[in-house]
Amino acid sequence: MALSHKLILASGSPRRLELLKQVGIEPDHLMPMDLDETPGKSEHPRTLARRLAHEKALAARKALKGDPNWPDRYILAADTVVALGRRILDKTERVDEASNALYQLSGRTHRVYTGLCLVTPGNAVRQKIVETRVRFKRLSRMEIESYLASGQWRGKAGGYAIQGLAGSFVVKLVGSYSSVVGLPLLETVNLLSGEGYDVHARWLEPG
């Protein structure tokens, strides 16, 4: 049975967990990996997202090596990078960082890259990168200051969370909305099902 396989999410992100639950997938274990996410010199944002997802998945696999509790497990990792051109916009921890990011994004199109990495029970490694283009309207000073006061920018790449108040800033989105939130659902489901994890098993359970 597919459900005999366990799924480990190598992330502590509540957004990624909620997105998985949205499509009927509930990880058996959350395993956040605390890695250095500093970009390499001249590293492209797409490459960074792919590399970090890969490193998180392999770090989780190493941590679980020899653990008898997880003999038959899938490991899923993801990383999201927000960029203006080749310029990577980091997660904002201070209000001045968030303010600077929002002024940069105002009236412009930026890209959001989410890297996915899946390690199968047979230790095969599968990767996928999803690119989404997002255009913000021109933001007024009042809009930026009000958004900063909300606190929804804290810890967010690019200083915003699209699923919150900042959704009202978006003029156009080309690609995956769920990827901008933190996990591209179409690609994640395809990746899991393509490697033998029955993502529809719980859909058949009585609601």
- Measure Cα distances from 203 to 21, 30, 147, 198 in Å: 11, 22, 38, 10
Supply 6's token pair.
Answer: 């366990």
Annotated catalytic residue within 28, 34, 79, 96: 79
* DSSP conformational letter for 67: -
Question: Residues near 98 by Cβ (< 8 Å), separated by ≥ 6?
Answer: 92, 148, 153, 154, 156, 159, 160
Give the containing element (helix H, strand E) for 104. helix 95-105
Residues 92 and 155: beta-carbon distance below 8 Å: yes
Strands (E), 14-159: 29-30, 73-84, 87-89, 109-119, 125-136
Among this protein's residues, is 90 annotated catalytic?
no
Q: How far apart are CA 204 and CA 79, in angstroms?
A: 30
Residue 140, helix vs strand vs coil: coil
| Positions marked active-site | 79
